[in-house]
Amino acid sequence: MAYIPSVDLVPRALAGDERAIARLLTRAENGTAEARPAFDTLFARAGRAHVVGITGVPGSGKSTLVSKLAKAIRATGRTVAIVAIDPSSPFSGGSILGDRIRMGDLGGDPGVFMRSMATRGALGGLARGTLEAVDILDAAGYDMVLIETVGVGQDEVDIARAAHTTVVVSAPGLGDEIQAIKAGVLEIADIHVVSKCDKPDANKTIADLKNMLMLGMVAGKPAWRPMVIPTSAPQDQGVTELLAAIDRHRVALDTSGEISARRAMIDERRLIKASEEILRDRFEQHRHGRLAALLGNVSRREMSPHSAATRLIAELGEYA
């Protein structure tokens, strides 16, 4: 089989061809240089989809919830794409991507596209290429794009700089997790879900969360106040309410004008991340050239690491 140039895949992807979309997603994940012009075109065509992030500690029930939410979205007639991220092994670089295990119900519906992605060493809960993947699915016409992050702990809050609406999932019975995660992840929530409410200690988790939200409440009348939604997968509870809240959040963003601020925040993060990646790739390419030479200066203490870095970046810029 011959290599299909990425620019030739673009019109097919825009027309909704699953194979073309899937191949472009692979190239986004791999950071394939040949595909950059194609991604640029797709970026220009994107911007219509409502992007929703689903995050929470490992095993909190994200995939189960995403599956149910996708069904609810389909029931309203909208189409939905899912990007579900799992960690790569730091040892082999490989991964086992298991989010599909909970999404068996979604098979056979052409209005749903589900893709697994590995982090490939990226920190922050997303994968390298996640946002290009969102562009591709958005441009291909999916009305909503759901991003399931890696199971996150404290500091992995990148999702709030990637999605228009962020849902944080907490499950009862995972210890004193509310205390543990409140610092980072809880603050980014537009909507809180307490999953597994068929379990006995769910009420305490709901009460704890509501208390915390009260403490953090600001005076006046903000455009949006985060709420707590209890869900249970086996009892089919809470998902309609969750979708209604997600839709209301989108309306609130639009009517308050806050959506522009969110978009600007997402763009800023992407610009900075992309710059970092370009620099990192160039470092790799010049590992044996300028980097090695400057390293010599540092090890002889002729130059501090900071001055050498300044010099290195200036010189790498000249090679661009």
Partner 1 sequence: MQSNGDRIRVIIAKVGLDGHDRGVKIVARTLRDAGMDVIYTGLHRTPEEVVEAAVQEDVDVIGVSILSGAHMTVFPRILDALKAKKADDILVVGGGVIPDDECEALKKLGVKEILLQDTPPAEIVAMVKRVVTERGTR
Nearest approach, Cβ of 231 to ligand GTP (angstroms)?
6
We find the least distance from the C-beta atom of residue 102 to Mg ion, in angstroms, to be 6
**From candidates 29, 53, 60, 99, binder to Mg ion by CB under 5 A:** 99
Tokens at residue 95, please?
Answer: 């991964």
Query: Are 95 and 86 spatial neighbours (Cβ–Cβ below 8 Å)?
Result: yes
Interaction residues for partner 1, span 102-131 (CB under 8 A): 102, 104, 107-108, 113-116, 118, 120, 128
What residues numbered 143-172 form the site for ligand GTP, per CB under 6 A?
151
Helix (H, G, I), strand (E, B) or coil at 170: strand
Residue 33 binds which entry of Mg ion, partner 1, ligand GTP, none, CB below 5-8 Å type-dependent:
partner 1
HSE on the CB side for 318, CA within 13 Å? 6
Count of chain residues binding partner 1 (CB under 8 A): 41
Q: How many CB atoms lie within 10 A of CB 302?
A: 11
Check binding of 63 to Mg ion (CB under 5 A): yes
Q: In what order do the strands lie in the sheet with 112-118?
A: 112-118, 80-86, 144-148, 50-56, 165-170, 191-194, 227-230
Nearer to ligand GTP, 62 or 128 (CB): 62
Tell me how far apart the alpha carbons of residues 16 and 253 are, in angstroms, rounded to a whole number. 28
Query: Do the beta carbons of residue 210 and residue 227 sit within 8 Å?
Result: no
Stretch that binds partner 1, among 92-100, 163-171, 194-202, 208-216 (CB under 8 A): 92-100
Stretch touching ligand GTP by CB under 6 A, among 213-221, 232-240, 243-251, 293-301: 232-240
- The one among 37, 59, 93, 296 contacting partner 1 by CB under 8 A: 93
Residue 89 binding result from partner 1, Mg ion, ligand GTP, none, given CB thresholds of 5 to 8 Å by partner type: partner 1
> With CB cut-offs between 5 and 8 Å by kind, which of Mg ion, partner 1, ligand GTP, none does residue 250 bind?
none
**Nearest one of 250, 248, 210, 215 to 230, comparing CA atoms:** 210
Distance CA 310, CA 273 (A): 19
User: Binding to Mg ion by residue 55, rule CB under 5 A?
Assistant: no
SS3 116: strand
Contact by Cβ (8 Å): 248, 159? no
Contact residues toward Mg ion (CB under 5 A) are 62-63, 99
Contact residues toward partner 1 (CB under 8 A) are 1-4, 18-19, 21-23, 25-26, 29-34, 88-89, 91-98, 100-102, 104, 107-108, 113-116, 118, 120, 128, 284
